[in-house]
Structure 1
Amino acid sequence: MWNDGKILTLDIDEVKLEGRCFGPAPDSAPTVVLLHEGLGSIALWRDFPEKLARVTGYGVFAFSRRGYGQSDPAILPRPLDYMTSEAVDALPKVLDAIGFRSGVLVGHSDGASIAAIYGGSVQDHRVRGLVLMAPHFFTEKVGLASIETARAAYETGELRARLGKYHKDVDNAFFGWADAWLDPAFKDWNIEEVIAYIRVPVLAIQGVDDQYGTRAQIEALETQSYNPVDVAMLADCGHGPHVEQPEKTLALLVDYLKRLDRIEAAKAETA
């Protein structure tokens, strides 16, 4: 199934998800699994997966969750715990489907929250580390206000047309995300409880000018984690570090993965 650079289709519980892989297959190298943001898809990672595979020697797998990209539409409205469902129900099946053996989850925004939930809720010794870019652990007024702005731009501006290039059912993608976050009950959404149960090293990356979350998200991770947490706050960067500061973000990931390799090598020597 693994075919470098090619689009593939996963059938997960009769739901078709698009995926794309780069670099070596999971049986010959560790794998980075990319989890996209709330309006993301494979295509919106741009050339980041290919570059990451090239400079690290890791395999890289990206997929569009249900409701995004060319994957099957989601059933709307999404439940307000949809990120937990993605982490504990859908993601384990995706990892098994690609033959995941060892590696790292790299998530952005919603995808970072899903990665954190997985790390703190699912006992999976194959996962060696987490990279959380602009994660959300709870709602903030600034983030909700930015989503309100995005909804207005979608309904009256050019955002719908722009996103339509990346999602085969753009209304399903947008309203599945925005309607959940802007539901009045979602203000109480909080997943901080998973932080204390994460048992692998974490790299957290956030833009100083992130319009969807403040440094309070990162501080929650730093203060509540019992495992190592490295933090990089990127200047001149908003919500998308891998898009706005791609070279710095790539360098951070390369350094992090090298450190994980050293940790694994040390474990092997003492085993």
Structure 2
Amino acid sequence: MQNPAIEIPASDFADLPVTASHGPLRIEYRWANNAAGGVKNDAPIAVFLHEGLGSIAMWRDWPQSLCERLGMRGLVYSRPGYGLSTPRPHHVKWPVNFMTDQARDILPALLDALGIDLRERERMWIIGHSDGGSIALLYAALHPDALAGAVAIAPHLFVEDLSVQSIAQTRLLYETTELRSKLSRYHADVDSAFYGWNDIWLNPAFRDWSIAAELASIRKPLLAVQGYDDNYGTMAQIDTIPEHVPHAQLARLDACGHSPHRDAPDRLNEAIAAFVSRHRQ
């Protein structure tokens, strides 16, 4: 059910055409640190990819603060099924390769719709968290020349018992506590958002999902960040990356859980800014 009182600041929308992996989509997006009061229109773009239950609104002010630090424009958008973007029809289940579809089809289609050409993409940084971190890795692998670099924050490369246990616990909380009400502030159709994410992660067919071997084609700079107290994945997730991307750099954060941009924003911003500075074109 749509929530007419959703508390999300005004956004813009882009209409995406039908592709092999999806029908027509309306994508909610917003610029951070752009033009008036921000940086020049020719500054590089940082694209932000949210977590499995995220949206534009759930990032809060972190994209803006990081873009100010980097001197970049920020493109923040809600993936299909989240925020004010086209909801997932309730009878539709995300496929096992849904993150590949996001990286291969939907993000490039959004960039096309916004007129972001290849020259701008070659200077563009992809910054993703959790499922969004996995999508950032896949984008860098599938479009190795259409970015300047990537930052994957608490990404998933494969499914661990810890992940499944935590996601099952989140479902229990969603169905028995105020979690559903709280999340409804960030999504027009909160059940579409929640069950799209939760159902696929708890699907037995998803247990063998892995993107590790697909990362070998990543050529651009890559930073992977994870907190030691992450309850959705162990440090084995980012430790696997250099096996396939030898030039990748890792940052491990103490006293930090699954969301470093909320748990340790200053340390995260410092790690990203230092890395980007070393590789800035």
Q: Is the shorter-chain TM-score for this pair beyond 0.5, marking a shared fold?
A: yes
Which portions of structure 1, spanning 4 or more consecutive aligned residues, are displaced by more than 6 angstroms? none
- Please give the alpha-carbon distance, in whole angstroms, between the structure 2 residues aligned to 1:40 and 1:248: 21
Q: CA deviation at 1:153?
A: 0.2
Q: CA deviation at 1:225?
A: 1.1
Tell me the SS of whatever aligns to 1:43.
Answer: helix
Aligned residue number for residue 105 of structure 1: 126
2:263 is the alignment partner of 1:244: yes
Q: Which residue of 2 aligns with 1:61?
A: 75
CA distance in 1, matches of 2:273, 2:178: 36
Provide, for residues 7-61 of structure 1, a one-character-per-residue CA deviation record: whole Å limited to 9, x for no partner.
2111112311110101246950110000000000001111011112222210011
RMSD of aligned alpha carbons: 1.5
1:42-81 matches, within 5 Å, as 42-75=56-89, 76-81=92-97
Deviates more, 1:18-27 or 1:68-77: 18-27
| Residue 249 of structure 2 corresponds to residue 230 of structure 1 | yes
3-state SS of 1:38 partner = coil
Letter in 2 for 1:220: T
What does residue 214 of structure 2 align with?
194
CA–CA distance in 2 between the matches of 1:6 and 1:223? 43
Q: What's the CA shift for 1:253?
A: 1.5
Question: Shift in Å at residue 73 of structure 1?
Answer: 0.4
Gaps of 5+ in 2: 1-8, 18-23
Between the aligned partners of 1:118 and 1:19, the Cα distance in structure 2 is 18
Partner of 2:147: 127
Cα distance in 2 between the residues matched to 1:103 and 1:225: 19
Query: What per-residue deviation string (whole Å, max 9, x for no partner) do you get for residues 94-149 of structure 1?
Result: 122233312100000000111111111224x2301010000101000000000000
For residues 171-230 of structure 1, the C-alpha deviation after alignment (integer angstroms, 9 at most, x for no partner) is 00000000000001110111111221111111111010000000111111022213x211
Q: What is the DSSP-based 3-state SS (H/G/I as helix, E as strand, rest coil) of the residue aligned with 1:131?
A: strand
> What corresponds to 2:276 in structure 1?
257
In terms of fraction of residues, the more helix-rich structure is 1
Establish whether residue 40 from structure 1 lines up as the match of residue 54 from structure 2. Answer: yes
Matched, 1:20 2:41: no
| Mean CA deviation greater in 5-14 or 165-174 | 5-14
Q: 1:84 aligns with which of 61, 77, 100?
A: 100
Match of 1:9 in 2: 13
Gaps of 5+ in 1: 265-271
Q: CA 1:126 to 1:6, structure 2 compared with 1: closer, same or farther past 3 Å? A: farther
What is the CA–CA distance in structure 2 between the aligned matches of 1:78 and 1:15, rounded to whole Å? 15
Q: Report what 2:189 is aligned to.
A: 169
Q: Structure 2 CA distance, aligned partners of 1:222 and 1:205?
A: 13
Residue-pair matches, total:
256
CA deviation after TM superposition for structure 1 residue 74, in Å: 1.7
